[in-house]
Each structure stands twice: as C-alpha cells, then as structure tokens.
C-alpha cells in the first residue's frame, strides 16, 4: 500500500515564526502536492512538484514556499506565519499508473 | 477556468436512505472525474473515478456516471450506513497538462441510526 506521511498531526505556532511541514511518500512517485483545506472552500492547491528540485505554483502560493531535494520528500515552508494561514494542510503524491492521488492524514496548523 | 461545483451541505439522512450528492463541472476537453472521501480525522482517499463519457465508477456501494452532455458526475448510494458519515469531494483532472486535481468545496454527510 502507498503510504504518505506528514511530520505532525497538530501544530501551534506564533505569528512571524518560520514553519516547516514535511511530507514523505514511499512509492517513488514523481508528482507531489500541497493543499490547504478550509471549510466551505474545499481543497486549494498551494504548490506542486513533478520532479526533484522542480516546482510549480498552484492557486494560492502567496506566503508559502516549497522544497524538494529528494524524490520521496516534499516540504512546505511558511516563511513568516500569519493567523490567516491557520488551516488543515494536506500532502499528496500521484500515481500516473493508477490515476490516483494518495493523501497524507493532514497537519492542522494553528497560528496564534 | 476549470471548476467543480457540489451541492451545498451538510446533508443528514437516516440509515438505509437513498443518497445523491450532486456534482457538476466546467472544463475544457475531456477531464477525468473523481469522488474522494474524507473520514473524520483522516486524509482523503479515492472512492471512485471515471475517465471518459458514460463510464460508471463504483466502489463500496457508491456509484457515479460521467455525463458529458450535462457535465455532471453525481454520487449515489442506494442504502447508506452510519459508517458512510464523512466529507465527500468531487474533483476533476484535465486530460492535458499538469497532473493536478481541481476540487469541489466538499459535502459533509451525516447518517443517523
């Protein structure tokens, strides 16, 4: 079974802190994604990566950056956390063969 | 642009009721269509998918048919159970370009015993 793990289930940070969210997949997938999930808005794509060191902006990249140094790991970085970044963050990797995105359990981030 | 619209929630039903969650989409070309489900405290998991017009996806008693003429992919189940309580997301993937999904806003379903 594909496994996508995220470094924390719950995280509380202060405004202005630099925040790292880590995601690891074990299926050698090339494509990985970061979404944020907010009530009534569904999932919105922040960034995605289609290969090591390759990245593309999604629909809401402002205030975020990403890093993909190894194929299995995709990190989301909040350079200076703000209260409007309080949200659930979901990581996913994509199997082109099965035409399916596999999701991690999510990190609920609270910025105070 | 490309978008997915789901029926407003929350939806509350009694056990063994018939379920329909409406989903319509706007997209260029011929997208693939998906239903994902998110159980409490978990990430999303694929429920079913359809890759071309008139395809029917099915899984765990749920079904959805890709209707090109009405640009719809409604989710149905004949007899729901308490364990079906979850948030359901409709999504599309364009045939060309990046492998990213466009999601609807989600529909929270609660089934009462």
Residues 6 or more apart whose CB falls under 8 angstroms from that of A64 comprise A34, A46, A47, A76, A77, A78, A79
Q: Which residues of chain A have a pLDDT value below 50?
A: none
- Counted across chains A and B, CB pairs separated by less than 8 A come out at 51
The residue in chain B having the minimum alpha-carbon distance to the alpha carbon of residue A5 is B43
CA-based torsion, B88, A66, A56, A101: positive or negative: negative
- Reported as a single tens digit per residue, the pLDDT across B61-112 is 999 999 999 999 999 999 999 999 999 999 999 877 667 889 999 999 999 9
- Cα dihedral A46→A51→A54→A55 (10° resolution): -10
What is the separation of C-alpha B110 from the centre of its chain, rounded to a whole number of angstroms?
Answer: 15
pLDDT averaged over every residue in chain A: 93
Q: How deeply is A12 buried, as exposed, middle or buried, from its count of CB atoms within 10 A (0-12, 13-18, 19+)? A: exposed
- Reported as a single tens digit per residue, the pLDDT across B20-40 is 999 999 998 889 999 999 998
pLDDT, position A96? 78
Task: Report the candidate in A104, A43, A46, A41 with the shortest Cα–Cα distance to residue A73.
Answer: A104
- Reported as a single tens digit per residue, the pLDDT across A47-63 is 999 989 899 999 999 99
Contacts of A103 in chain B (CB under 8 A): 36, 43-45
């Amino acid at each position: 079974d594909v496994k996508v793990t995220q470094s924390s289930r719950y995280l509380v940070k202060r405004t202005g802190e630099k925040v790292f969210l880590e995601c690891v997949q074990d299926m050698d997938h090339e494509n990985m994604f970061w979404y944020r999930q907010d009530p009534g808005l569904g999932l919105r794509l922040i960034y995605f990566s289609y290969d090591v060191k390759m990245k593309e902006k999604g629909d809401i990249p402002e205030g975020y950056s990403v890093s993909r140094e190894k194929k299995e790991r995709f990190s989301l970085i909040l350079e200076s956390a703000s209260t409007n970044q309080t949200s659930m963050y979901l990581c996913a990797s994509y199997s082109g063969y099965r035409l399916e995105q596999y999701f991690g359990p999510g990190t609920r981030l609270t910025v105070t | 642009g490309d978008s997915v619209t789901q029926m407003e929630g929350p939806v509350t039903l009694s056990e063994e009721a018939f379920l329909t969650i409406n989903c319509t989409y706007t997209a260029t070309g011929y997208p693939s269509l998906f239903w994902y489900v998110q159980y409490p405290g978990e990430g999303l998991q694929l429920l079913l998918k359809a890759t071309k017009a008139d395809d029917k996806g099915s899984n765990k008693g749920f079904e959805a048919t890709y209707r090109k003429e009405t640009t719809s992919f409604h989710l149905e189940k004949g007899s729901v159970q308490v364990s079906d309580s979850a948030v359901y997301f409709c999504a599309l993937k364009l045939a060309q370009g990046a492998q990213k999904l466009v999601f609807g806003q989600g529909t929270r379903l609660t089934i009462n015993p």
